[in-house]
Chain A
Amino acid sequence: MSGDLRAAVAAGVLSAEDDYRALLRSIVEVARAIFGARASSIFLLDEATDELVFTAVAGEGADSLVGMRLPSSTGIAGWVLVTRQPLVVEDVASDPRFARDAAESTGYVPNALMAVPLLHDELALGVLQVLDRTEPPRFTLAEMELLGLFAHQAAIALHLLQRARKARAALADGEGEQAALARLAQVLETVPEERRAPADALLGALARLLE
């Protein structure tokens, strides 16, 4: 196992979830700044419960919303997730159901929102929302493109977070190939320098045996 690969496995399995959360938080903060918005948030799809979970929030609700859950296929965020299509909606507070749901779940009813799916390869991972941007005279396709670019970045971060979580879960279970790989990475991280060469030779032999 090369040094790079070992580092990659170790980073995937061992690095702190806090780092990924910080990255997502940074993305929503930048999105909020660029669009001059009152709030921005990232929802992650929880496959086990089939719900959308507030995973990062900047601005309004930053202290209270993380961890809150929404249905995965209704409302505007659910529509965006299922259809994989971005959506920009103004005067959304005039939609009675939206206003009621928003007030009940978040305590904050935005007037306008942009929502874009977070897609990585063929997976729909979640939704990025930007709420109440500073009112431009009218919406433009350039803003839509910018939102798409941001969503791409957020999707990559979200993918890393999900992968790390799965790897950590496997490590906690102590079963399966991922757990074996994780244990191996953990051991290799602590192998003293002078035993690295024999360790790599042993791994090479093992790989040849399994091929």
Chain B
Amino acid sequence: MAAEPERAETLLPAWSLPAHAVPGIGIAVEWPERVTREWAWGGSTGRGVRVCIVDSGVDGDHPAVGGLAGAVVVRAGAGDDVVVEPDAEGDACGHGTACAGIVRALAPECELWSARVLGAGFKGSGRVLVGGLRWAIEQGFDVVNLSLSTTKRDFATLLHELADTAYFRRTVLVASAHNMPVESFPWRFSSVISVGSHELDDPFAFFYNPRPPVEFFARGVDLDVAWLGGGTLRCTGNSFATPHITGICALVRSKHPELTPFQLKSVLYLTSANVGGGG
């Protein structure tokens, strides 16, 4: 019998599972009998994890942000193209800085990036959003924070494909849910982690929602966030709940880098305050 080719993990994805390969498909993560927060991210600082904030830009000099590893601006180019360039302008609103500050507070040693998709006008902003997300997935970020959504159905298919691509490439997309009576994307896709708000003050308090499409609730009401000019503002919105889950994802990925998005979402489920591992 000819020697079977070795099935190294680097050969993933595997499209089928021959009998000889069964012993080699062991899961790298040693899952405990009960997944706790201590197991999931105890001692983690987010070190080694690359997080991208796709938003209004980030003021890297804000003390709550503590520096950026890189920043790009995405703008509409000729035809359907988008152009991605280094961004020296910072934040067009303050919101991206707020998100970056929240992630930094939870995962102090993660590597933060900014992809600015706002500032060049409303026209073409859907294309720019899609372009920004595509760029972030191509860069292979570990976690991408999307505190934004589109209602344009033209972009739904594209976003869906991108979300699935991210899922299979181990890039976790964390997206703000909508609490208004409209259809919007990409938060509704099951390949992303969607986040709504609860009213508690604990930044580490999060809940699994047994009645999706919104999957998790995190802190999003009346919280102090970083804003323009080096100061802070008190804010409310699902768009602030989202970076809390992003930060927690960064902690988990730092401690367990081998987790796939599916496994990571399972860890979030098991460590939700209403599930059992929240203690």
B-contacting residues of A (Cβ < 8 Å)? Answer: 45, 47, 50, 71-76, 78-79, 81-92, 94-98, 116-117, 119, 121-124, 138-141, 144-145, 148, 151-152
Contact = CB atoms under 8 A, between A and B. Distances in A.
A121 B151 contact: yes
Interface string B220-257: 01100001110111111111000000000000000000
Interface of B: 56, 92-95, 117-123, 125, 129, 147-153, 176, 178-184, 197-199, 221-222, 227-229, 231-239
7 contacts: A50-B121, A78-B93, A82-B118, A122-B153, A122-B183, A139-B236, A144-B237
Contacts of A138: 221-222
Contacts, number: 140
Contacts of B92: 73-75, 78-79
B233 A50 contact: no
Nearest to B176: A85
Contacts of B152: 122
A13 to B, nearest CB: 27
The B contact surface, by secondary structure, is loop
A87 B94 CA distance: 12
Contact of A85 (B120, B129, B183, B239): B239
A78 B235 CA distance: 17
A87 B235 contact: yes
Contacts of A82: 117-118, 122, 125, 129, 148
B234 A78 contact: no
A98 B228 contact: yes
A83 B149 contact: yes
A45 B122 contact: yes
Given A98-B94, A119-B182, 8 more contacts: A50-B123, A79-B56, A95-B229, A121-B182, A124-B151, A141-B199, A141-B221, A145-B179
Contact of A140 (B183, B199, B227): B199
A76 B179 contact: no
Contacts of B93: 74-76, 78-79
A97 B122 contact: no
A124 B155 CA distance: 14
A161 B271 CA distance: 49
A23 to B, nearest CB: 20
Question: Of residues A45, A122, A145, which shows the largest number of chain B Cβ atoms within 10 Å of its Cβ?
Answer: A122
Contact of B229 (A88, A89, A97, A123): A97
Contacts of B149: 83-85
